[in-house]
Copies of this chain bind each other. A is one copy, B any other.
């Protein structure tokens, strides 16, 4: 059994990690930490787990974690991970980090969006954990920077078409809608039920930090600088993310080529479901699963393709993809622990 630690287990992403890892037959959760709830049984914070999960939150200590775990998931606000992960790697652990700290290849991009990077050496060795695209790098990396939820939902549909030259990199628009859990469990007025219900709005238009993350990956895949226009929105629901992607077609693109390109790229990848014509992705269809559902429509008159992707922002957009990456790192079947049945509602 692989021994696993979850650092920051009481936020929404951390709790999802516990949920998934507890049902994972190849791992044992040996340690969970929480600054705020150190000493508290996990099921006191999340009573859904009463009688199921008997873990107790601890204060973080690198030595204690290294003693008891082979791999660690860090679900912390950015900045903290780059402070503690180097010490964990030195002690021989492998790490999947759910923050932004190990997502960028170019530290300058990270620093423009966040703050000075204090673990540049380790950053160089890290892999970007978009599992379907960078599986090889993930398998061997000491640290995996788990992608943001928005980048996951935007990049999976676009990368194959961009690489195949079917869409024009100068025309990309991503209009993305997220459930409220993306804002985390810290209390804030903007996440209150009464502020969110019957509310739909865009936020951080033009300044969201997931935008440079997308741009770097798109540029890397395309081989030349690509910039996407990205607008995130908040929808009155708990979980789920739908991205609507607009792209101009290149001369050679046809609906058939687009379908073939997506189907070929994701052949054998169990978590990407290309919808048949006429079926449109819906966040409800992927709720609590690790799927990314992709559908599209071509507007031939205007030479544009409209792609839709749906994920659960906490699963494929966070904890699920993190476990998928761990599976890759430990040569397990990619779906281990991630094959719970979807629900009809």
**Do the beta carbons of B287 and A48 come within 8 Å of each other?**
yes
**Do the beta carbons of A244 and B233 come within 8 Å of each other?**
yes
Known A19-B344, A246-B173, A344-B12; contact A200-B48, beta-carbon cutoff 8 A: no
A201 at the interface (CB under 8 A from B): yes
**Do the beta carbons of B16 and A282 come within 8 Å of each other?**
no
Segment with Cβ contacts to B, from A110-118, A124-132, A133-141, A190-198: A190-198
**Do the beta carbons of A301 and B227 come within 8 Å of each other?**
yes
**Do the beta carbons of A198 and B51 come within 8 Å of each other?**
no
Instruction: Using C-beta atoms within 8 Å of the partner chain, give the interface range for chain A.
Output: 35 or more
A185 to chain B, nearest CB (A): 6
Known A173-B173, A299-B206; contact A231-B194, beta-carbon cutoff 8 A: no
A218 to chain B, nearest CB (A): 13
A16 / chain B contacts, CB cutoff of 8 Å: 343-344
**Do the beta carbons of B345 and A304 come within 8 Å of each other?**
no
**Do the beta carbons of A281 and B180 come within 8 Å of each other?**
no
**Do the beta carbons of B181 and A194 come within 8 Å of each other?**
yes
**Do the beta carbons of A285 and B191 come within 8 Å of each other?**
no
Within 8 A of B (CB), among A288-313: 288-289, 293, 297, 299, 301-302, 304, 306, 308, 310
Residues of A within 8 A of B (CB): 12, 15-16, 18-20, 22-23, 46-52, 173, 175, 177, 179-181, 185, 187-189, 191-203, 205-206, 227, 229, 231, 233, 235-240, 242, 244, 246, 270, 273, 275, 279-289, 293, 297, 299, 301-302, 304, 306, 308, 310, 340-345
For the complex with contacts A19-B343, A48-B284, A201-B310, 16 further pairs of A-B residues with Cβ separation under 8 Å are: A12-B194, A15-B344, A19-B342, A47-B275, A48-B289, A50-B293, A177-B177, A180-B193, A200-B283, A201-B308, A206-B297, A231-B244, A231-B306, A238-B345, A239-B345, A340-B341
